[in-house]
Amino acid sequence: MSGVWDQVVGQPAVVAELRAAVADPAAMTHAWLFTGPPGSGRSVAARAFAAALQCPDGGDGTCHACRTVLSGTHADVTVIVPDGLSIGVVEARELVRVAGRAPTQGRWQMIIVEDADRMSESAANAVLKMIEEPPPRTVVMLCAPSLHPDDVPVTIRSRCRVVGLRTPAADAVADVLVRRDGVDPALAAWSAGASGGHVGRARRLARDEDARMARKAVLDVPLSLVSLAACLSAADDLVGTAQEETDAATGALNGAETEALKASLGVGARGPGVAAASRGAGQLKELEKRQKSRATRIGRDSLDRALVDLAGLYRDALVLHAAPSERLPLNHPDRRSDAEELARRIGPEGALRRIDAVLACRRALEQNVKPQVAVEALTVALRLPS
C-alpha cells in the first residue's frame, strides 16, 4: 500500500475495493456511501478515494492533485463538514448547484459530505434527487455511522454503493501514530488501546495532556458515586467540562466571524453604507443562530465522548464478571482494576442497568433535554449500592 492509501488505517479490504474502482472505470459509480463506527476513518477513506480519482497515477500522494485534495484546496472537490446540529436544505441545494458544474481542472466534480446522518429530511430529499439524476462527471460520497434508517434514508442508501469500514485494530492505530506522528511507541500503544480504535482520538490522547486528564476524570466517576452529593457533584463536573470545551472552541472563532461579517456589511459606516448595514441585520441574526447551533453540537459531542467512555467501563465490568480469568479485550485496559471493583460491587445486572442508563442519557441529549438535567439523572442512576 502506498500514496494516498497510507492515510486509511487498518482497512485493507476497503482500500482494495476503492483501488479497483480507480483502476477500472467500469467498476466506478457516481454515488458512494461510507459507513463505519466513529473513528474508523470514513471521511479519511473518502478523501483518499477522491485524491486517487483525481490523480493521473491513481493516488501516488505526491502530485498536485493528490496534495490539493488531501489539504482541502482542490477546486473540484467540495467537502461539507457540518459544525452545527444538522445539514439544512439551503446547504443541500448549494451542494446540488456545485455538483452540476463541470470539473474545471480535475477529472471529476466531487462532493464529500461528512456526517451525512445529520441531513434534515428536506436536505436528504434534495440530495436524493441529485443522486437519482446525476450530472455527468460528478461523484457524490456520503459518510455516515451505519445503514440504519435513522442515519441514512433507505431511498438514498439503495442508490449508493456502500463501503463498510470497521474499527481498526489497536496495533494498526499505534503503528500509524509512531510512523506518521512521531509518537513514542509506549505512549502510542497506550493511546491506541485507550481510544478503542478511534484513530482521531488516539492521536489526541497521545499529543494532548489535557485530553488524557479529561478521560481520567470521566473514568474516575463510577467508583466515586457513593452518595447523592457525590452524584450531583460528578454531574456538575461533567457538564462543566463540556461547557469549558465549548467555550474554548467557539470563543475566538465566533468573534472573528461576527467582526468579518460586520465589516463586509459596513456596520458603523456613514453615508451610503448605513442603508447597506441596516439590511444586514438578518444576516447577523442568521450567523448568531449558526454559532449557537455549533456550540450546542460541540457541547453534545464532548458529553457524548464522556458517556461512551462510561459505558465502556461498565461493559468491561460485565466482561470481567463473566470471564474473570480470560484475557479478553477491554475498552479501557489501563483501568482493569476499576472494572474488576465495579464487577464485584454491582454485578452483571447492575452493569447492564447502568449501560442502559448511559444510553438513555445519550438519547435525552439528542432530544434536547437540558444537559444538567440529563446528566444529573444519569449519575443518580449510576450510584453505587451502599
Give me the pLDDT at residue 274, please: 56
State the pLDDT at residue 186.
95
- Asked if 171 contacts 197 with a C-beta cutoff of 8 angstroms, the reply is no
* DSSP-based three-state secondary structure for 162: strand
> What CA–CA distance (Å, rounded) separates 81 from 40?
17
Q: Do both 232 and 370 map to the same domain?
A: yes
Q: In 10 A of CB 344, how many CB atoms?
A: 12
Q: Look at the alpha carbons of 335, 341, 345, 347 in this order and tell me if their dihedral is positive or negative.
A: positive
The total domain count for the chain is 3
pLDDT higher than 80, residue 276: no
Helix (H) or strand (E) holding 302: helix 281-322
Do 353 and 278 lie in one domain? The reply is yes
Query: Rounded CA gap, 146 and 148, in Å?
Result: 5
* Residues 10 and 159 grouped into a single domain: yes
Tell me the average pLDDT across 183-192: 94
At residue 38, the pLDDT reads 86
pLDDT confidence bin for 310, thresholds 50/70/90: very high
CA separation, residue 349 to residues 81, 251, 310, 320, 346 (Å): 40, 43, 16, 13, 7
Kindly report, residue by residue over 69-127, the tens digit of the pLDDT.
999 999 999 998 887 778 888 889 988 899 888 898 878 999 999 999 999 999 999 99
Residue 21: inside a domain: yes
Residue 4 or 274, more confident: 4
Structural domain includes residue 215: no
Same domain, 52 and 93: yes
Check whether residue 154 and residue 183 sit in a common domain: no
Per the prediction, the chain carries an average pLDDT of 89
Report if residue 287 sits inside a domain. yes
For 228, left (φ over 0), alpha (ψ -120 to 50), or beta? alpha
151 in the same domain as 297: no
Task: Write the CATH number for 41.
Answer: 3.40.50.300
Shared domain check, 276 and 195: no
Task: Using the structure block, give the residue that is written with the C-alpha cell 465566533.
Answer: 254
Q: pLDDT tens across 128-166, in order?
A: 998 998 888 899 999 999 988 888 999 999 999 999 999
247 and 188 both lie in a single domain: no
Sheet holding 77-80, edge to edge: 77-80, 109-113, 138-144, 31-35, 161-164
The residue that leads in pLDDT, 244 or 360, is 360
pLDDT band at 270 (very low <50, low <70, confident <90, very high): low
Helices and strands: H and E segment counts in the chain? 15, 5
313 and 197 within one domain:
no
pLDDT of the residue at 254 = 73
Q: Are residues 262 and 373 in the same domain?
A: yes
What CATH number should be reported for the domain holding residue 236?
1.20.272
For residue range 15-65, list pLDDT tens digits in order: 999 999 999 877 789 999 999 988 899 999 999 999 999 999 888 989 999
6 CB-near residues (< 8 Å, 6+ apart): 61, 180
Tell whether 8 and 156 lie within a shared domain: yes
Q: Which of 248, 20, 249, 37 is nearest to 146 (CA)?
A: 37
| Residue 220 is assigned to a structural domain of this protein | no
Domain assignment present for 221: no
CA angle (253, 256, 260) in 5-degree steps: 140
Domain co-membership, 152 together with 174: no
Residue 222 in domain: no
Higher-confidence residue of 206 and 297: namely 206
Q: Which domain holds residue 301?
A: 228-381
Q: Could you say which of 110, 133, 164 is where a domain stops? A: 164
* pTM, full prediction: 0.80
Q: Is the pLDDT of residue 1 over 50?
A: no
pLDDT at position 354 is: 97
pLDDT at 275: 56
Q: In this structure, is residue 53 part of a structural domain? A: yes
Q: Across the chain, where does the E strand assignment appear?
A: 31-35, 77-80, 109-113, 138-144, 161-164
What nine digits make up the cell of 379?
Answer: 449519575
- List C-alpha distances in Å: 18 to 24, 45, 302, 347: 10, 9, 33, 46
Residue 285 falls inside a structural domain = yes
